Amino acid sequence: MCPEMESAAIEEKQSGFEGLHEGVPVQGGAVVFVRRKATMGIGHVGWGFLVHAGSAGRLTLVGDGNVWEIGAVENHHGWLITPPLEDGYWQERTSQPLRSVASREYDHYKVVPVGTANVEAALNAEKAVAERPYMAAVSNCMNDVYHILAAYGVENLPNPEAIANWLPNAWYDHITAPEYAIEDTGGLADYSEHGRGVGS
């Protein structure tokens, strides 16, 4: 990341996003992406969170100066335990997250405004995910998304260790938040028309 963008991201993290949702200051936003047909229909999820809000003051997923950190652990091998560097971990910082995940065949997403965003904590959690092995039982794609977005400030995400949430598609479905097709750029921009909050 260039020095100018890094400086802007730090400044934004400290000052917070100045948009409002139902009278509540919104400092950031989080996204969960899903590829429903992955792993013979079990599904697969990835994460996204806002690291820098644009000067236009609009929380969107299609530019407007907003910069997002996105990523996932793909585990293309399908092994129950996969070491780091072989587990398909990736991350990207982009102003066009939907375009990026569409190229990886994710098909839907859910969005959550965050009142108090902790970018540094989320980046540290992301680093920990990058350095640990994939383990189907305890550090799978759901666990990774959960830990990163909880560190960012998303509250009441479904517990990925609960039996009802143990499959990625089920865990994703139990996130109480608006869902959009990946080609629908309306996520977050019109969030006020939907219910707010996550978890079940």
CA distance 126 to 149: 9
Residues found in the chain: 200
Cross-strand pairs, 25: 20
* 187 contact partners, CB below 8 Å, separation of at least 6: 31, 61, 98, 109, 111, 178, 180
Which residues of the chain register pLDDT less than 70? 1-26, 55-58, 63, 137, 188-200
146 inside domain: yes
CA distance 197 to 90: 27
pLDDT at 41: 81
pLDDT at 192: 36
Domain containing 57: what range? 3-157+168-183
pLDDT at 189: 59
198 inside domain: no
* 84 contact partners, CB below 8 Å, separation of at least 6: 130, 131, 132, 133
43 inside domain: yes
In the chain, the number of structural domains is 1
pLDDT at 58: 66
CA torsion through residues 100, 19, 176, 130, sign: positive
- With 0.85 as the threshold, say if the pTM is over it: no
Cross-strand pairs, 179: 110
196 inside domain: no
